[in-house]
Amino acid sequence: MTQSKTSASILGLLLFIGMALLGVLLKQAIIEYKLLDRSVTVKGLAENEYSADVVIWPIQFTAASNQLEDLYVEVEKQNKLINDFLISHSIKTDEITISAPMITDKLAQQYGGNQAVEFRYTALQTMTVYSSEIDTVRQVMPEISQLGKQGIVFSQNNYDAQIEYIFTRLNDVKPQMIEQSTNNARLVAEKFATDSQSQLGKIKRASQGQFSITNRDKNNPHIKRVRVVSTIEYYLAD
């Protein structure tokens, strides 16, 4: 009987010691987990300026006549004047495209009205320059107005005739800009760690933001501002 009580006491003591050790281990594991979970999330910005590498320049002009055949003759004549002018100013033939003219019959649009019109037919013609020679095209743009002296009426206010500058080398600059944004984020994280009397650890997670391409300003649309923000979370340790 006494031996049974002794064995039970020893078993109980061993269970108590085991539970105590388990409690200590669990507490230590929780503390280590919390220390491991300490982190800081920062953002790093990279912003650079690059020149556009493609220009799209729609050239629109209008012509009018009371005879449809004469109108087409006039449009073809003005097409040739503009085309010759562009080629003489170092723009290549394969960089110029000519679309079909948009013809409007004003009498057909009167819907029964009796308003007098000077010319029955009008044409809106678009020629487009698509080139990678940005500087060459930009030099020609203000000079083309000289053709106005030869009777060409340019249309410059149409929305679909706006000049576009395109930056196509994004994949070439991405690695460099991602490196810049990551380095900037790390500088911010290191400052935070120093201020909080901690040490900066490894990256816990990171996400690359969307690249954005905008004009530097409204007067220089051929200069593009490329921007990306990276979000990075670092571990912190004491």
Under CATH, domain 38-51+167-238 is a member of which superfamily?
Protein of unknown function (DUF541), domain 1 (3.30.110.170)
pLDDT in tens, 159-171: 878 999 999 999 9
Structure tokens at 39: 């982190």
pLDDT of residue 13: 59
pLDDT in tens, 142-164: 999 999 999 999 987 778 789 99
Measure the CA–CA gap between 185 and 234, rounded to whole angstroms: 10
| Common-topology check for domains 38-51+167-238 and 54-166 | no
Helices (DSSP H) in the chain: which residue ranges? 2-37, 68-88, 134-140, 170-195
Structure tokens at 159: 């929305």
The stretch 188-211 carries a mean pLDDT of 89
Three-state DSSP class for 150?
A: helix
pLDDT of residue 26: 43
The stretch 1-12 carries a mean pLDDT of 59
Residue 210 has pLDDT above 70, yes or no: yes
pLDDT of residue 113: 53
What DSSP string runs through 188-222?
HHHHHHHHTT-EEEEEEEEEE---EEEES-TT-TT
Cβ contact 152:82 at 8 Å: yes
Length of the chain: 238
Structure tokens at 161: 């005739």
Cross-strand pairs, 42: 232
**Which 3-state string (H, E, C) describes 78-114?**
HHHHHHHHHHHCCCCHHHEEECCCEEEECHHHCCCCC
- Phi, psi of 164, rounded to the nearest 5 degrees: -120, 140
Cβ contact 184:47 at 8 Å: no
The stretch 116-144 carries a mean pLDDT of 93
Task: Spell out the domain ranges in the chain.
Answer: 1-37, 38-51+167-238, 54-166
Cβ contact 130:95 at 8 Å: yes
CATH of domain 54-166: 3.30.70.2970
